[in-house]
């Protein structure tokens, strides 16, 4: 038994990688290993012999197993050290000259849609990404108990105990900018607000941070017909086509009455996403006539002014226009993906020069 011990502990010490170590394990303590064979011999021994040999064999097996485990851990550490050594990178070195960077499809889509709405007389408004729950919910006619709060999978900001400032959230949509713009600019008003929004959600078409563009038009005689025209013109211009198949679906949002969701015809064949054909529909926006309570929350007289609003998913527009099937790749910062789907920084999208040439 001492011979066995010496032999296998020696082999374990000499093993230089996990494969070699596994071979030693099989030969020593595997099902058909030498220790197992010895254990089988216990049956042929006298009870007295067995009383000595049995515990000794078990102790030997334990000793070999712990030597194997220790060596395995040591090999793992050494492999990690080696990787850390070989993948070491001096981030203080100057960058290598490269042709140029590229514009991310979301930035590109934002520039394109801004150019289109600018042409229709909308100016760009902004608001904070961390906002109070009053702007994100209450002012938009979503009171505290409203189910829409739960549906939105809101990220709440941490508050220390005893801190009684109003609760803040990562904005779940760009709609709070409607309120801020009304407060700042009054009516009549025509704004869009592109920007990042946040919800706890993750799959092929949802990421915890994504992008919307909010739109708001207020004046003294605006109707649903104006909304429909603006959206149809926008979608045609954005996709650079003569006509698109849109589906206006009656829906409900607390901040609009009536409300409509709009889907665009598409297909998902073999993981290829195509717009304008097929039997699938992808929801790209919510819209409606602004609720009088929302107009009043913005400090404007709802008896005098009414208007429409919409919230469009920018990332989804980019997926459809550029045939990108997985939203999550937008946020992976994979250089190969960026080079493939990115745009030249010198081609600024304009309606006269072409949006995405
Ligand atoms: N805020 C809605 C959302 O994120 C989208 C939306 C729907 C915006 C209707 C609007 C609107 O302005 O009128 O789901």
pLDDT at 357 over 70: no
How far is residue 106's CA from residue 140's CA, in Å, rounded to a whole number? 27
Query: Is there an atom of ligand 1 within 6 Å of 198 CB?
Result: no
Region of residue 114 (phi > 0: left; psi between -120 and 50: alpha; otherwise: beta): alpha
Question: pLDDT (tens digit, 9 = 90+) per residue, 224-247?
Answer: 999 999 999 999 999 988 888 899
List, in order, residues 6 or more apart from 116 with CB less than 8 Å away.
234, 237, 238, 351, 355
Please state the domain extents for the chain.
2-86, 102-341
> Is residue 299 a contact partner of residue 183, using CB atoms and an 8 Å limit?
yes
pLDDT at 143: 86
Average pLDDT over residues 280-289: 93
Q: How many CB atoms lie within 10 A of CB 250?
A: 9
Options 3.30.2010.30, 3.40.50.300, 3.30.930.10, 3.30.920.30; CATH for 102-341 is 3.30.930.10
How far is residue 178's CA from residue 323's CA, in Å, rounded to a whole number? 31
Predicted confidence band at 277 (pLDDT cuts at 50, 70, 90)?
confident
Question: pLDDT (tens digit, 9 = 90+) per residue, 313-343?
Answer: 999 999 989 988 888 999 998 989 998 999 9
pLDDT at 326: 86
Task: Provide φ and ψ at 54, rounded to 5°.
Answer: -55, -60
State the number of CA atoms in the 13 A half-sphere of 114 facing the CB. 16
Q: Which atom of ligand 1 is nearest to the CA of 215?
A: 12
Decide the pairing of beta strands 189-198 and 123-124: parallel
List, in order, residues 6 or more apart from 305 with CB less than 8 Å away.
187, 188, 218, 219, 220, 295
Choosing from 136, 175, 228 the residue with most ligand 1 atoms within 8 A of its CB, the one to mutate for a pocket test is 175
pLDDT at 95: 78
Question: pLDDT (tens digit, 9 = 90+) per residue, 147-174?
Answer: 777 767 899 988 888 888 888 999 999 9
Query: Is there an atom of ligand 1 within 6 Å of 310 CB?
Result: yes
pLDDT at 209: 95
Query: Is there an atom of ligand 1 within 6 Å of 237 CB?
Result: no
Average pLDDT over residues 261-267: 91
pLDDT at 163: 86
Query: Is there an atom of ligand 1 within 6 Å of 181 CB?
Result: no
pLDDT at 171: 96
> Is residue 264 a contact partner of residue 320, using CB atoms and an 8 Å limit?
yes
Minimum mean pLDDT range among 1-10, 253-262, 265-274? 265-274
Question: pLDDT (tens digit, 9 = 90+) per residue, 42-82?
Answer: 889 999 989 998 999 999 999 999 999 999 999 999 999 99
State the number of CA atoms in the 13 A half-sphere of 94 facing the CB. 3
Going by C-alpha positions, the residue among 142, 118, 181, 146 that lies closest to residue 307 is 181
pLDDT at 125: 97
Average pLDDT over residues 253-273: 89
Written as six digits, the tokens of 154 are 């809101």
Choosing from 206, 255, 257, 258 the residue with most ligand 1 atoms within 8 A of its CB, the one to mutate for a pocket test is 255
Predicted confidence band at 222 (pLDDT cuts at 50, 70, 90)?
very high
pLDDT at 134: 95
Block residue for tokens 């010895």: 38
CA of 112 to the centre of ligand 1 (A): 20
pLDDT at 218 over 70: yes
Q: Going by CA atoms, what residue is nearest to atom 12 of ligand 1?
A: 310
**Helix and strand element counts for the chain (H, E):** 12, 10
Q: Pseudo-torsion of CA 260, 264, 268, 274, nearest 10°?
A: -160
pLDDT at 285: 95
CA of 137 to the centre of ligand 1 (A): 12
pTM: 0.71
pLDDT at 72: 94
For the chain, strand residue ranges (E) read: 123-124, 130-132, 168-170, 189-198, 209-219, 246-253, 256-269, 272-275, 280-290, 306-313
Average pLDDT over residues 290-315: 97
């Amino acid at each position: 038994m001492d011979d066995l011990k010496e032999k296998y502990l020696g082999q374990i010490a000499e093993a230089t990688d996990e494969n070699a170590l596994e071979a030693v394990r099989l030969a020593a303590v595997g099902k058909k290993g030498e220790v197992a064979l010895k254990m089988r011999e216990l049956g042929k021994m006298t009870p007295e012999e067995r009383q000595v040999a049995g515990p000794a064999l078990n102790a030997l097996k334990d000793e070999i197993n712990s030597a194997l485990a220790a060596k395995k851990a040591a090999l793992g550490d050494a492999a990690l050290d080696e990787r850390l050594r070989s993948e070491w990178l001096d981030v203080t070195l100057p960058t290598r000259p490269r042709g140029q960077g590229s514009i991310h499809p979301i930035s590109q889509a934002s520039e394109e849609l801004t150019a289109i709405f600018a042409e229709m007389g909308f100016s760009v408004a902004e608001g904070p990404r961390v906002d109070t729950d009053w702007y994100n919910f209450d002012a938009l006619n979503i009171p505290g108990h409203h189910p829409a709060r739960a549906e939105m999978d809101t990220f709440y900001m941490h508050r220390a105990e005893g801190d009684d400032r109003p609760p803040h959230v990562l904005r779940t949509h760009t709609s709070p900018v409607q309120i801020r713009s009304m407060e700042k600019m009054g009516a009549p008003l025509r704004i869009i607000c592109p920007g990042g929004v946040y919800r706890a959600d993750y799959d092929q078409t949802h990421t915890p941070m994504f992008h919307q563009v909010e739109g708001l038009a207020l004046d003294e005689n605006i109707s649903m017909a104006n909304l429909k025209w603006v959206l149809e013109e926008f979608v045609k211009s954005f996709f650079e086509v003569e006509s698109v198949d849109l589906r206006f679906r009656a829906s409900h949002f607390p901040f609009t009455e009536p409300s409509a969701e709009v889907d665009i015809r598409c297909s998902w064949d073999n993981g290829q996403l195509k717009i304008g054909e097929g039997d699938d529909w992808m929801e790209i926006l919510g819209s409606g006539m602004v609720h009088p309570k929302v107009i009043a929350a913005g400090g404007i007289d709802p008896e005098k002014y009414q208007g429409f609003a919409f919230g469009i998913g920018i990332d989804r527009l980019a997926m459809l226009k550029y045939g990108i099937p997985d939203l999550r790749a937008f946020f992976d910062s994979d250089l190969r993906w960026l080079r493939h789907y990115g745009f030249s920084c010198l081609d600024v999208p304009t309606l006269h020069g072409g949006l995405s040439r």
